[in-house]
Amino acid sequence: MAYWEMEQKGAVLVVSYNNPPMNYLVGAAFQEFQEELMPACEDPSVRAIVLQGKPKGLFMTHFSVEELLAMSEAGAMKGADASIMTQGHQRWSALEKLSKPVVAALTGSAMGGGYEQSLGCDIRIAERGDYRIGLPEANLGILPGGTGLTRLTRLIGASNAINIILRGLVFKPDEALRLGRVHEVVDDARARALEIAQSLAAKSPTAMAVIKKAIYEGAESSFDEALLLEGQGFIDCMSSEEALAAMKEYVAIPFEERQAWLDEKAANI
C-alpha cells in the first residue's frame, strides 16, 4: 500500500498512516483504506485497532489543501448537492462502524481531516508537545466536511462547537483535553494507545460490538429508541459465551476479593 502500514500485535492491529514530509491526508489514501485496510480490520483475529501516524512527531496534519484547491479550481463541486458527499462520509465513518474498539494515538498535529479521522475513533490519546488539534477550515473559507462539524457538535454541544468552528480555533493538547476533545494527554501516545487497545482486546468482543452500536446509534435516536438499542444490546451480551464465562469467574471469587478483581480488569484503562 502507498499510504498505510499494518502490524498485528496479538489481537491488536496497529495501523499507521505514512505520507511524509507533512503526513497530509489525500483522497487516494481513503480509497486504499476502504479497499485494502478495512478487510484486515474486520478479520476476526483482530479484537482492537490502534490508528497512528508513521512519521515521528506527526499524526495526520490535515487534508491536503493542494488537493482541495485543485478540486475547487476544476469546478468539481459546482452544481452538486450534499448527496455527493455520502460516499466520502461513509469512508470517514468506517472506523466508527466497526464492531471493535479503535484507539487513536495523536503524536502530532491533528487538524481538519486529521482530527476528523480521530473523531471517527472511539478513544483519542494525545501526546504532550507543541502542536495543534482542531478544525481550522473556516480560515480557508470552507467548513469541516469530513464528518467533523457534526461529530464535534455532538461531542461538545452546539454552543461550544459553533464558537470553535466559526472561529477556526485549534488547540494545544492540554487545551484539547480540558475541552473534552481528547481523552488523555500522555508522554508516549503510541505506547498508551497500544496498552488501552490490548486491554480492550481482552474483553468480550460481543460486549465491545454492542456497546459501540448502542452508544453511537442511540446518540442519534430518540430516548425511547435509544433504550430499545440498549435493551437489545443487553440481551445480546447475556446470550454470549464470553459473558457466561466472565460472570462464572466473578461469582467464584470470595466476596472480599471481588473489588480487586474488578480493579485489575480496569487497571490498563
The residues that bridge with 4 in the sheet, in sequence order, are 17
Closest CA to 135 of 180, 171, 85, 178: 171
How many degrees, rounded to 5, is the angle at CA 133 between CA 130 and CA 135? 145
Of residues 36, 73, 127, 137, which has the active-site annotation? 137
Our answer to whether residue 137 is catalytic in this structure is: yes
Of residues 36, 73, 116, 127, which has the active-site annotation? 116
DSSP 3-state of 5: strand
Our answer to whether residue 32 is catalytic in this structure is: no
Contacting residues for 214 by C-beta, under 8 A, at least 6 apart: 226, 229, 230, 232, 233
Q: Are 50 and 195 spatial neighbours (Cβ–Cβ below 8 Å)?
A: no
Q: Are 107 and 124 spatial neighbours (Cβ–Cβ below 8 Å)?
A: no
DSSP 3-state of 114: helix
Which residues are identified as catalytic? 116, 137
